[in-house]
Amino acid sequence: MSGKYRYIARLGGGGMAEVFVAEVVGAEGFSRKVAIKRVLPGFSDNPTFAQMFVAEAQITSRLVHPNIVSITDFDRDADGRLFLVMEMVDGKDLDALVATGLLPFPVVIYLITEALRGLGYAHDLPVSSDMRGIIHRDISPHNVLVSWEGAVKVSDFGIAKAKAA
């Protein structure tokens, strides 16, 4: 438990952060599933990594589009570890979907088109007067999420950069 967030299960992780299914808990029994990306112990105290994670939160919070995983909160837990709260996309990543076998050509076209809609929005987003757009720089099958309802969303803008106008 981290304040108003209750961790349910670990989804996965990498060398510097881990992702959990969690619930945001509110007044009068309100709750909603979210995904929480939390920095591993020690990395929140590393100024270089902490600044990179803060930059990810700042960049990603500006991206409001149906094909991009939305960010709803950014904070530190009781242990001082940085964490990012995101919408929960209930489904599979493209890597897991492709592992099930060949996908029908119309499905492939749909998945690519939807992912490109999100990336196109990010690329055209005004950042400042001298910067225009955000480049993902790590688009890969595990960073494209597909919900059980068919929504396609790009995630993990951790190494994204703003591009010059």
Active-site residue list: 138
How many residues does the structure list for the chain? 165
Q: How far is it between the farthest Cα atoms of the chain?
A: 48
Lookup: tokens for 69: 């995983």
Q: Where are the beta strands (DSSP E) in the chain?
A: 5-13, 17-25, 31-39, 71-76, 82-87, 91-93, 131-135, 144-147, 152-154, 161-164
What is the DSSP secondary-structure string of 39-79?
EPTTTTT-HHHHHHHHHHHHHHHT---TTBPPEEEEEE-TT
Q: Of 76, 94, 95, 63, which is closest to residue 5 (Cα–Cα)? A: 76
